[in-house]
Amino acid sequence: MAPSIKVGDTLPKGEFGYIPWAPELESHLACGVPSKINTETDWKGKKVVLFSVPGAFTPTCHTNHLPPYLEKYDEFKSKGVDVIAVVAANDLFVMSGWARFEGCKDKILALSDAGAKWSAALNLSVDLTERGMGVRTSRYAMIIDDLVVKYIEVEPAPGVTVSGAEAVLAKL
């Protein structure tokens, strides 16, 4: 099913749970303070790269999707990107743990789309129940500039191509 959002559309309001990075999170005993990102207020006037993965710590997401975004952080910033965020259906504590494990610190926001509700409303979810994972966010990427979608692509098959760091950088 094709996404219900396309280039030129205004990003629908979304609210994601996340745990802002703080130095105390370097301790594996700290959990952080849950917070929220509201797309309408927090991303207004900003250039945002949002990429989605089916799950934190899952093989492709963990080794092939998130790491190149972190490695190319400076390139994204040099192209005027204010915010880089990864979203998945995992809860905010898992997303925070994954971001800490990957070394994201404050470079990439790890957002929780609990139950893939926001993504599902945009036809950007996938049912992986038969694989024991439930409903998840699809693998996709967006470039959002002042809440207007400038790029959106959903992976057509397993793997990382159109939603990867290289593809998104080429569209900035």
Indicate which CATH number applies to the domain containing 75.
3.40.30.10
**pLDDT, tens only, 101-137:** 899 999 999 999 988 899 988 888 766 657 666 567 8
Give CA–CA dist 91/154, Å, rounded: 22
- Is 110 contained in some domain? yes
- Could you tell me how many residues make up the chain? 172
pTM: 0.91
Give CA–CA dist 34/102, Å, rounded: 19
- Is 86 contained in some domain? yes
- Is 160 contained in some domain? yes
Pair type for strands 35-38 and 15-18: antiparallel
Give CA–CA dist 61/39, Å, rounded: 23
How many domains is the chain partitioned into structurally? 1
- Is 33 contained in some domain? yes
Q: Which domain holds residue 52?
A: 15-171
Residues belonging to the active site: 61
* φ, ψ (nearest 5 deg) of residue 17: -80, 145
**pLDDT, tens only, 25-43:** 888 788 889 999 999 999 9
Strands laid side by side in the 148-154 sheet: 35-38, 15-18, 109-112, 83-88, 47-52, 140-145, 148-154
